[in-house]
Amino acid sequence: MGRIVRLSVDDVVHDGDTLLLRLGEPASPVPAPVAALLLEHIANRDNMNTATNPASRWLFPGRRAGQPARPDHLSALLNEAGIPASAARGAAIRQQLLELPAPVVADALGYHNKTTSRLIRETGGTWSRYAAGDHTRSPTSRPPRGADDS
Residue 84, pLDDT score: 80
Nearest CA among 104, 130, 128, 131 for reference residue 117: 128
Q: What does residue 108 show for φ and ψ, rounded to 5 degrees?
A: -70, -35
Is the pLDDT reported for residue 133 higher than 90?
A: no
| Axis-axis angle for helices 85-99, 71-80 (nearest 10) | 100
Per-residue pLDDT tens digits for 108-123: 777 888 888 888 888 8
Residue 92 · residue 84 · CB < 8 Å: no
Question: Could you tell me which residue, 50 or 61, shows the higher pLDDT?
Answer: 61
Residue 82, pLDDT score: 83
pTM for the whole thing? Answer: 0.57
Residue 97, pLDDT score: 85
| pLDDT grade for 49, boundaries at 50, 70 and 90 | low
Average model confidence (pLDDT) across the chain: 79
Residue 39, pLDDT score: 92
Per-residue pLDDT tens digits for 72-85: 888 888 888 787 87
Give 86-92 contacts, CB < 8 A, sequence gap 24+: none
Burial bucket for residue 97 (CB in 10 Å: 0-12, 13-18, 19+): buried
| Axis-axis angle for helices 102-109, 85-99 (nearest 10) | 140
Cα–Cα distance between 85 and 78 in angstroms, integer?
7
* Mean pLDDT confidence for 111-137: 72
